[in-house]
Structure 1
Amino acid sequence: MKIMILETGLVPPPIRADFPDYPQMLRDLIQPVAPEFIFSRHDVMDGSFPALDEADGFLITGSPAGVYEDHVWMEGLFDFIRKSAQAKIPQVGICFGNQAIAHAFGGRVIKSPLGWGLGRHSYDIQQTPDWWTGDQTEFALVVSHKDQVVEPAAGSKIIARSDFAPYAALYYPDAPALSFQGHPEFNDDYAAALYNVRRGNPLSDEDVDAAIASLQRPQHNTRVASWIADFFRSASGN
């Protein structure tokens, strides 16, 4: 199965030489649980988008951008998401990707009055599709976001939530699409480095220290990677 990763954001310059870029992080996450997947990538930040027949599924990365911001590629991305859904090509969104898919389908995304989500967050599973594996009732991921979905799009199903993020994982059976607000592709070293880059602007020392301390709690990156792989397989009929 050919999965194309749509790159919508970059690792911050101060740590760019120390870590892989976001498409590579996602490939490193998913490839071990889906060795048959063939990954490619496309940088959409120049306003260009792939043809729909270039892949069997699309995966949208995280980004520091907000869906309400005026970037040359933003409306093109929303249009691409809708066209992919019309063609029944499965899509997965991570963090910004979660927000972009919701916005493209008519949901509402804002800069949350709750402030920044940082560190390891746990989410309660609300319901699961037929293709979902395992009987877990929760999962935990690294997060780094101030924007979030506050009104889901019509037809979406809430897979997981928390008090901080009521729409932390969404499934769109008719699209089909699946999205997570958290970052299963971030390891703890990268998360800590990212928080430290933002120490003082826009994050306080207290927030950064608390976020890094929370990384000692268990994470479920591989579990989420398996769900993403199972979604792609199921949506493609494999």
Structure 2
Amino acid sequence: MRIGILQCDHVKSELQPKFGNYPEMFATMIHAQNPQHELLNFAACDAELPDQTNLCEAYILTGSASSVYEDLQWIRDLESFVRSLHQQKIPTVGICFGHQLLAQALGGETLESQKGWGVGIAHHRVVSNKDWMIPKVEEVKVLVSHQDQVTKLPPQAQRILQSEFCPNAMFQLGEHIIGCQGHPEFIPEYSHALMEMRKGKMPETVRQAGLDSLTKNTELGPISLWIENFLKSHQKP
């Protein structure tokens, strides 16, 4: 399957030698589930988008340090592209910023959360099961790093994961769009490095709790496998 990675930011340059850039992180995650996928990268944050939506069979929107409600041309262009994907029912997955942009572009709302930063390992409850959610679990653990949240889902969207901190942690719209607030492409070491870099930029109690979460049971949930199952369900013979 040819999958387009719509890159919405760059990993900090000082972290790239160890962790790579976002396309590399997603390639590692995707190919761990299915090495046959062909990946094409488009740096949406640098005003690079596919000329045609059908250039790829599916798309994944990455995270970003930007906020989807910022008045930036590349964000507006990406929203327009996403609406075209939705109209054509092309399978699309949004991660963190990508999840928030999908919601905003398709009639929902994303705002800076009054609850502040979510960092480290988050626990989300499954509130709706889909056929692609194999293995079936009742709770998911996933790495998170965000201040913004989806505060209103798009019309007809269905909530899949939630927590008290993040009520709209994952959703599905139609049969072809899913958004996930967490970062299944992250590894704990990268999450740790981000929190070290953000010392002084968030309450120390929040940062320390996030760091502490990385030292406990770090067996993360099956979201990367769910994404593969979702994509596979749309793969043409």
Q: TM-score normalised by the shorter chain: which range applies?
A: over 0.9
Offset at residue 18 of structure 1 (A): 2.5
Offset at residue 218 of structure 1 (A): 3.3
Q: Deviations over 1:73-111 (max 9, x none)?
A: 011111111101111110001000110000011101000
Q: Which amino acid aligns with 2:151?
A: V
Gap regions ≥5 residues in structure 2: none
Is the 8 Å Cα contact of residues 140 and 221 (structure 2) preserved in structure 1? Answer: no
Q: Which amino acid aligns with 1:162?
A: S
What residue in structure 1 maps to residue 133 of structure 2? 132
Q: Which amino acid aligns with 1:234?
A: S
Q: Which amino acid aligns with 1:228?
A: I
* More divergent stretch after superposition (98-107 vs 38-47): 38-47
Q: How many residues align?
A: 236
Q: 1:103 to 1:219 in 2, by over 3 A?
A: farther
What residue in structure 2 maps to residue 45 of structure 1? 45
Instruction: List structure 1 runs of 4+ shifted beyond 4 angstroms.
Output: 219-222
Q: Deviations over 1:134-191 (max 9, x none)?
A: 22101101111000001101111111100000000111125x1111101111111100
What residue in structure 1 maps to residue 204 of structure 2? 205
Structure 1 residue 218 corresponds to structure 2 residue 210: no
Distance of 2:93 and 2:219 partners within structure 1:
17
Offset at residue 53 of structure 1 (A): 1.8
Distance of 1:232 and 1:18 partners within structure 2:
29
Q: 1:62 to 1:38 in 2, by over 3 A?
A: same
| Equivalent residue runs for 1:1-238 within 5 Å | 1-50=1-50, 51-174=52-175, 176-200=176-200, 202-219=201-218, 221=220, 223-237=222-236
Gap regions ≥5 residues in structure 1: none
SS in 1 for 2:234: helix
Q: What is the TM-score with the length of structure 2 in the denominator?
A: 0.95
Identity %: 32
SS in 2 for 1:235: coil
